[in-house]
Amino acid sequence: MQPLIRMTIGVALVLGALLLAANTLGRPPAAPASGPIAGDATRGQIVFERAGCSACHTTTTEFRVGTGMAGVLQPEGPVYPPGVNYGGLLPNGAPRTEENVAAFIRATNQGQIGIMPGRALSDQQMADLIAYLRTLTR
């Protein structure tokens, strides 16, 4: 190979490597995955107790001031006292989805049983609480 060609190839390789490095270094760090906040059921149990839910709700099917929480995130819902029937919906008439249960917990609601005072929880606390409620099956 002639020296000139060898040098040209060498320069091209160095330039290529530099461009590659600059491209990688200049890239902004990967954005955190967007989407729903991951909930942790163990932390959710603490939220349930600290937010005072357990004063009015058991974590079984047993009735306290409100229904027991077992089944609250299952399609059939919790066990209601005789005479109370929401036709598969939440006490406020919303479909039984996790989003609607979260909204129910944040708002003050009046149903056939009584009034539940809303609780101001952060998005992380709510995600943890919902993860915990998911474990309460009947």
Classify residue 113 as exposed, middle or buried by CB count within 10 Å of its CB (0-12, 13-18, 19+).
middle
CB of 72 to ligand HEC, least distance (A): 5
* Smallest gap from residue 137 Cβ to ligand HEC (A): 14
Quick one: which of 59, 91, 127, 136 contacts ligand HEC (CB under 6 A)?
91
Residue 85: C-alpha distances to residues 15, 78, 80, 103, 105 (Å)? 74, 11, 7, 20, 19
3 vs 83, beta carbon nearer ligand HEC:
83
Q: Given the rule CB under 6 A, which residues bind ligand HEC?
A: 51-53, 55-57, 65-67, 72, 77-78, 90-91, 101, 104-105, 111-114, 116-117, 119, 129
